[in-house]
Amino acid sequence: MSKILIFSETRNNAKGVKAVTLEILGKLYGHEVDVAIIGDLSEEAVAALAQYGAKNIHLIKGAGLDNYSPEGYAKALKGVIEKNSYDYVFSGATALGKDLLPRVAGIFNAGMASDVVNFIFENDIFKGTRPQFAGKCLSKVEIVGPRPHFITIRPNALGMNQTTKSGSVNKIADNFDAGPLRATIKEIIKGASEKLDLTEAKIIVSGGRAMKARENFKVLHDLADVIGATVGASRAAVDSGYADHSMQVGQTGKTVSPALYIACGISGAIQHLAGMRTSKVIVAINTDPDAPIFTKADYGIVGDLFKVVPIFAEEFKALLKGQS
């Protein structure tokens, strides 16, 4: 059986791991899987990894690893992979994962599959599925050449496979000196929002050019507060100055795959669809009944978003209050 490693990012000051790590672990349930983390991890997070089937957790520390740098992290991850002879290395297709894993694959001169949305192992061979051509089609991918092979998984694509594994995992301290680095990060300034990043969010409410002004996004934030969503935007809204680039969903923004995507005043240009078409359920609100977004939506409402969205918020409040 292949030896598998998942490189995991932490969140909330190492109190937990990103959800995509648990998604990958759940999908690999039944395999022997280790997890590598740079830095510390809380006992609660360790217990969650154990529940989802992790066998060993490598806690990597050393000079030059206090802040992320692709060069330093790649050197450290390379050391863990070589030391334990892993056959496959997984990571989330996050901003960091997309930056780090190709570098490590290059160091090993090995093959890589990026932004995978589903996979299986047949006869110990990885077989994955990934979108191509702005999501217009899905392709089957296999990796050839020398191992280890590298794979990044789109967050929220696999879903959570709840497991019942109990017991402990082995925590292994790995120390690696990254050595001299050509570039280092001196400071990381967090955004003001405490909501989940778009790539991790289970529910997203996005606005398009029809929002008309930056202040009008408040109506989307009000709905998002009620249902625990993150607010996104189309490129048209960002280019018009209505929203920050960090909120942009689409081919030139962030690729998302939430359980629910509510598109408000978004026409549905192919560039936007490329970033959200793998959403589980899509709800579209638009005054134009012929808007392309309706061809991809599971539910469509032809109407003024400034009238419809507040009604959504009130109805959700009532529903949630009834469940409490």
Is residue 183, in this structure, part of any structural domain at all?
no
- Specify whether 222 is located in the same domain as 127: no
Q: According to the model, what pLDDT value does residue 291 have?
A: 95
Mean pLDDT of 35-44: 91
d(CA 47, CA 82): 26
Q: According to the model, what pLDDT value does residue 191 have?
A: 65
Which of the four pLDDT bands, split at 50, 70 and 90, describes residue 194?
Answer: low
- Specify whether 160 is located in the same domain as 246: no
Mean pLDDT of 254-267: 95
Q: According to the model, what pLDDT value does residue 108 have?
A: 96
CA-closest candidate to residue 81, choices 11, 176, 152: 176
pTM as predicted: 0.86
d(CA 31, CA 44): 22
Q: According to the model, what pLDDT value does residue 66 have?
A: 84
Domain that holds residue 306: 203-323
Is residue 253, in this structure, part of any structural domain at all?
yes
Kindly report the CATH number assigned to the domain that includes residue 104: 3.40.50.620
Chain-wide mean pLDDT for the chain? 91
Is residue 56, in this structure, part of any structural domain at all?
yes
- Specify whether 57 is located in the same domain as 93: yes
Is residue 67, in this structure, part of any structural domain at all?
yes
Q: According to the model, what pLDDT value does residue 183 have?
A: 82
Kindly report the CATH number assigned to the domain that includes residue 294: 3.40.50.1220
Mean pLDDT of 139-150: 94
Mean pLDDT of 253-262: 94
Burial 195-207 (b: 16+ CB within 10 A, else e): ebbbbbbbbbbbb
Number of separate domains in the chain: 2
Is residue 191, in this structure, part of any structural domain at all?
no
Is residue 155, in this structure, part of any structural domain at all?
yes
Is residue 77, in this structure, part of any structural domain at all?
yes
d(CA 279, CA 157): 8
- Specify whether 170 is located in the same domain as 56: yes
Write out pLDDT tens, residues 212-224: 999 999 999 999 9
Final residue belonging to a domain, choices 157, 175, 193: 175
Is residue 273, in this structure, part of any structural domain at all?
yes
- Specify whether 218 is located in the same domain as 289: yes
Write out pLDDT tens, residues 166-177: 656 888 888 888
